[in-house]
Structure 1
Amino acid sequence: MDNKVAAALRGFIALTPAQRDEFITIANRYINGGPLTQDRIIDESTRDWGITKVDLGPTSQTCPYCGK
């Protein structure tokens, strides 16, 4: 299994059942949506988190999943 897939799976498993249902619903909307829907989901997730940059340690690298 790819390392990124394994990391994402571990994050998914850590969610509560209600959070998993919400994640699946949003992931399906993203997968089945057009570019505008996908952009809206990306924008909403960024706005909801309020994250503009993640400090991953002394080297201040970017997150491999969200690019921030």
Structure 2
Amino acid sequence: MDSKVAELLLGFNALTPAQRNEFTLVINRYIEGDLITKDRIVRESRRDFGITKVDLGPTAQVCRYCGK
């Protein structure tokens, strides 16, 4: 299994049943959606997460999910 897939699976497993259900609904909307729907879902998730810029300090690493 790819390490990114394994990491996401561990995160999914840590969710409550209600959170798993919400995630499944959103990911299915994303997979089945057109480009505009996919873009809207990504923008909403970034907004709801509340972070638009991440200060990683003196490291050259970036977040593998948002690229910041």
Q: Give TM-score scaled by structure 2 length.
A: 0.87
Distance 2:14 2:56 in 1: 20
Give 1:34's aligned amino acid: D
Residue 66 (structure 1) shift: 2.4
**Structure 1 position 3 matched with structure 2 position 7:** no
For residues 27-60 of structure 1, the C-alpha deviation after alignment (integer angstroms, 9 at most, x for no partner) is 0000000000000000000001111234567515
1:5-24 alignment runs, 5 A limit: 5-24=5-24
Distance 1:6 1:60 in 2: 24
1:38 corresponding residue in structure 2:
38
Distance 1:26 1:48 in 2: 13
Q: Are residues 32 and 21 of structure 1, via their aligned partners in 2, closer, same or farther at CA, if it must alter by over 3 Å?
A: same
Q: CA RMSD in A?
A: 1.7
- Where structure 1 has 5 or more consecutive residues not aligned to the other structure, the ranges are none
Q: Flag as ranges the 4+ runs of structure 1 deviating above 3 A.
A: 53-58
Distance 2:14 2:57 in 1: 22
How many percent of aligned residue pairs carry the same amino acid?
Answer: 68
Distance 2:7 2:64 in 1: 10
**Structure 1 position 27 matched with structure 2 position 27:** yes
- Where structure 2 has 5 or more consecutive residues not aligned to the other structure, the ranges are none
Give 1:51's aligned amino acid: I
